[in-house]
């Protein structure tokens, strides 16, 4: 079997696709990837064949101490850039899919994959990483990243999904149909439904993200696609961990946090008598002093580090949420947008952590939230949950692809 995997976005979007690609290769299949340009070198370092697609996903420039926001003019320019990105997907995926048996799109923003698969007469799967990416009467959709702050939220879940579908169509329908026309294909009328297909995969763990009701759509839950990482920790971090009790970890990954966003967290940690590890991330988080109770680190293995910390404070990405759950560690999620609010809600519902909006982080609010997650009952529930969270999602997905397309 030859599979084409496509993933655009930040590291949280691309890393699971690499995990599935490695699993497929291990099982003797040929794999090619179309991914964001700044992750191509990483894929190639793993021995995978990869070509760039879309634009580089990097941290946006920011003023010191400011959290980046999109102005109306920037929103307009972003919308206007979509035709090029969609055409690029059609061109890149169209060339890469020649000779393949199946295209696997990782995340819902697969504007070309279903069309290219249909045109070539091959299989197509769209996988999403969060249950609220699936249209359901039970779960509201993630807020649009292009939604302005003063936009009024519809009253019902059904209205929210209607609004979401409308936004997808306004953003991409004409462009998708223009490219389908280039292939001699009939137009579609619902971009979100088209990208998800009628047999979506949910690449998230069932204990964390159970499948919601999805009338008219078949869902196959694989579990999260985990890229194992046993890289040893840096010597200075190892020494820091050895010097005292398990610290708090804070990191916002690829999110556009302000560079000083860690400061109220450091103050809250000190108020609780705890040490703290700050992951710099794309926001280049700063500690602000040289005290011995805090350390800033670059990219490190969550698999190796998380079992050695007391609490994981993060933005609520699917991968980080699952990694902390596998480690059996309480979580404090500070969501910013998208499915991060879903994961924050799930952590609270499961009783394994707390949540406070990223925009409302203060020393006082974080101190209160940390006091919740340091409750021994929360830690006990987190340890119990870890026994139910799997690591074999990529293997399950690979076996399903073999059964259907090999």
Residue 366 CA, distance from chain mean position: 24
- CA atoms 111, 112, 113, 117: torsion sign: positive
Distances in Å between the Cα of 260 and the Cα atoms of 58, 65, 280, 288, 370 are 19, 6, 10, 8, 19
Between 145 and 350, the more confident residue is 350
pLDDT value for 255: 73
Mean pLDDT of 13-26: 97
Mean pLDDT of 143-168: 74
Residue 300 has pLDDT above 80, yes or no: yes
pTM of the model: 0.91
What are the pLDDT digits (tens) for 108-122?
A: 899 999 999 999 999
pLDDT value for 366: 92
Return phi, psi of residue 9, to 5°.
135, -155
pLDDT band at 289 (very low <50, low <70, confident <90, very high): confident
Percent of the chain whose predicted confidence (pLDDT) is above 90 = 76
Residue 147 has pLDDT above 60, yes or no: no
237: closest CA among 306, 311, 323, 296?
Answer: 296
Question: Is residue 42 within 8 Å of 18, Cβ to Cβ?
Answer: yes
Residue 266 has pLDDT above 60, yes or no: yes
Percent of the chain whose predicted confidence (pLDDT) is above 70 = 90
Tokens encoding 257 = 């946090």
Residue 220 has pLDDT above 90, yes or no: yes
Cα separation, 337 vs 110, in Å, equals 20
Question: Is residue 197 within 8 Å of 176, Cβ to Cβ?
Answer: no
pLDDT band at 397 (very low <50, low <70, confident <90, very high): very high
What are the pLDDT digits (tens) for 268-277?
A: 999 999 999 9
Residue 378 CA, distance from chain mean position: 24
Between 44 and 260, the more confident residue is 44
Distances in Å between the Cα of 37 and the Cα atoms of 8, 18, 26, 70, 232 are 9, 14, 24, 23, 27
pLDDT band at 152 (very low <50, low <70, confident <90, very high): low
pLDDT value for 150: 41
Between 129 and 82, the more confident residue is 129
pLDDT band at 149 (very low <50, low <70, confident <90, very high): very low
pLDDT value for 132: 95
Mean pLDDT of 170-183: 96
| Full set of structural domains in the chain with CATH | 2-226+391-405 (3.40.50.2000), 235-386 (3.40.50.2000)
What are the pLDDT digits (tens) for 46-76?
A: 999 999 998 876 544 444 333 344 455 555 5
Q: Which of 257-271, 284-298, 375-389 has the highest mean pLDDT?
A: 375-389
CB atoms within 10 A of CB 259: 18
pLDDT value for 67: 37
Between 126 and 258, the more confident residue is 126
Cα separation, 358 vs 219, in Å, equals 32
pLDDT value for 290: 80
Mean pLDDT of 193-211: 96
């Amino acid at each position: 079997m030859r599979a084409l995997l496509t993933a655009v976005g930040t590291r949280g979007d691309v890393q699971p696709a690499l995990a599935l690609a490695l699993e497929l290769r291990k099982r003797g299949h040929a794999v090619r990837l179309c991914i964001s340009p700044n992750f191509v070198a990483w894929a190639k370092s793993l021995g995978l064949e990869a070509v760039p697609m879309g634009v580089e996903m990097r941290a946006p420039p920011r003023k010191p101490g400011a959290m980046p926001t999109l102005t109306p003019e920037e929103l307009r320019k972003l919308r206007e850039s979509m035709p090029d990105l969609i055409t690029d997907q059609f061109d890149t995926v169209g060339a890469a899919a020649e000779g393949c048996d199946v295209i696997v799109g990782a995340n819902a923003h697969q504007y070309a994959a279903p069309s290219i698969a249909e045109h070539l007469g091959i299989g197509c799967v769209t996988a999403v990483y969060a249950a609220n990416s699936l249209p359901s009467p039970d779960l509201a959709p993630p807020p649009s990243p292009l939604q302005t702050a003063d936009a009024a939220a519809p009253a019902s879940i059904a209205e929210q999904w209607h609004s979401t579908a409308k936004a997808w169509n306004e953003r991409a329908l004409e462009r998708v149909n223009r490219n389908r026309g280039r292939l001699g294909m009939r137009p579609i009328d619902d971009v979100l439904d088209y990208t998800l297909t009628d047999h979506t995969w949910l690449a998230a763990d069932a204990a964390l993200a159970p499948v919601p009701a999805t009338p008219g759509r078949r869902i196959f839950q694989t579990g999260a696609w985990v890229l194992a990482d046993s890289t040893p920790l840096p010597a200075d971090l190892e020494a820091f961990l050895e010097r005292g009790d398990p610290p708090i970890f804070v990191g916002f990954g690829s999110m556009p946090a302000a560079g000083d966003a860690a400061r109220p967290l450091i103050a809250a940690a000190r108020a609780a008598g705890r040490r703290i590890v700050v992951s710099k991330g794309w926001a280049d988080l700063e500690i602000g002093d040289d005290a011995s109770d805090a350390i800033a680190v670059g990219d490190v293995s969550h698999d190796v580090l998380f079992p050695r910390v007391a609490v994981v404070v993060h933005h609520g990405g699917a991968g980080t949420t699952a990694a902390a759950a596998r480690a059996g560690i309480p979580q404090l999620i500070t969501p910013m947008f998208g499915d991060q609010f879903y994961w924050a809600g799930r952590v609270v519902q499961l009783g394994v952590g707390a949540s406070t909006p990223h925009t409302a982080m203060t020393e006082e609010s974080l101190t209160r939230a940390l006091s919740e997650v340091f409750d021994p009952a929360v830690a006990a529930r987190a340890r119990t949950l870890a026994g139910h969270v799997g690591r074999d999602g990529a293997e399950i997905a690979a076996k399903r692809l073999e059964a259907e397309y090999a």
